[in-house]
Structure 1
């Protein structure tokens, strides 16, 4: 009887990882703008290479966030502390959503006015270090991990599956974004970037409000996996 629930738990973990990967990558920060610019000026695969570099950097911060939360597993599993952690996570997600909705992603973006395309590796590496220069992404990962009950202590194989799924979700986002920008390249202007950012912000705000209501009324949309018990 055991293999079946384990299979279901792994599927649940994969879905959570994909959602977290998309949620962490979707806000249109400097790298998102850079990805759009490179797709428009250099071609789709240069934009996608930018997304790969950003995803690799995000993975580093996700591992740091997960390791930090694993060290306080007793704190996380305590029902009272878990309530406050998820409440704080929901509030942080709400803050990220509001910032994403009201901010102008183009304000601090630098145009990639390079005359030469550079190699795909070069585009990947530059995006990696740009993303790595923003350690505040750790707060977003902590909030997402708390809301999705993503951390499974003492289960490195399962967590490996989770992190791999998270990378898959991030790459899925960058693949979809570059595909969209490439298809409507002539019509995709600065207004399009702002619209995408506001749609993303609205989705994050909606999810955070649902999560906060669920936390307050002890209704968890993404319950903890049985393997964590």
Structure 2
């Protein structure tokens, strides 16, 4: 095979692998998925996507740390994972309590137009929740490290950049699909169903937050 064709084939494989990694880290049900669903329910497609974009940027940062072997930043994140986890747990509990008492209403009515910028406030929140999750940090490092070993390493900065962009692309695909799915069915939601969704979402976020706090406190005292 000519070297040029081999480079193209390797690039395609790298992109597909990166997209797969992005989907793998975004798809598992966790606090960001819960927030994305709840925002898509109350604020429509753009509200859900804004929550997803914050997570995508967090995934991109973690992927870049792993792909470019930025060990100093990686060491800092791991070294301070305890305090970061505590802050993330508290934030989840605060978000959860807020949802428990949120009025059961669609803030953006079905058919009403909105823009991504209208929901920008959720982006930094889900970004921080993503990078404050020790499981996400270690999982991304393991996935990127394992992928690098499988393909014989990332030889150039261009390959590393291509992988990071692909991971972000895979993550974005998940959030686009999830937001569109919820936005398509939200017009069927009654007030009682909205109240139930808020209560379920709030309870799940509180549970995730408590797990993070208990896990860190137990490890800290162990």
TM-score when normalising by structure 2: 0.61
Q: Which runs of 5+ in 2 are unaligned?
A: 73-91, 109-116, 202-222
Offset of residue 36 of structure 1: 0.2
The within-5 A match list for 1:116-135 is 119-135=118-134
Q: Which of the pair is proportionally richer in helix?
A: 2
Q: Is the 8 A contact 1:30 1:109 kept in 2?
A: no
Kindly report the root-mean-square deviation, in angstroms, between the aligned alpha carbons of the 2 structures. 3.3
Query: Residue 136 and residue 151 in structure 1: after superposition, are their counterparts in 2 closer, same or farther (change >3 A)?
Result: farther
The within-5 A match list for 1:179-190 is 179-185=180-186, 186=188
1:63 and 1:28 map into 2 onto residues whose CA distance is 23
Query: Residue 151 and residue 183 in structure 1: after superposition, are their counterparts in 2 closer, same or farther (change >3 A)?
Result: farther
Offset of residue 127 of structure 1: 1.5
1:30 and 1:109 map into 2 onto residues whose CA distance is 10
**Aligned residue in 2 for 1:20:** 21
Q: Is the 8 A contact 2:55 2:127 kept in 1?
A: yes
Offset of residue 166 of structure 1: 0.9
Query: Residue 22 and residue 154 in structure 1: after superposition, are their counterparts in 2 closer, same or farther (change >3 A)?
Result: same
The within-5 A match list for 1:73-92 is none
**Aligned residue in 2 for 1:136:** 135
Offset of residue 139 of structure 1: 1.5
**Aligned residue in 1 for 2:161:** 160
After superposition, what is the alpha-carbon deviation per residue over 1:85-115, rounded to whole angstroms, capped at 9, x for unaligned? xxxxxxxxxxxxxxxxxxxxx9997254389
Q: Which runs of 5+ in 1 are unaligned?
A: 72-105, 195-229
2:129 and 2:28 map into 1 onto residues whose CA distance is 15
**Aligned residue in 1 for 2:38:** 37
* SS state at 2:120 partner: helix
* SS state at 1:136 partner: helix
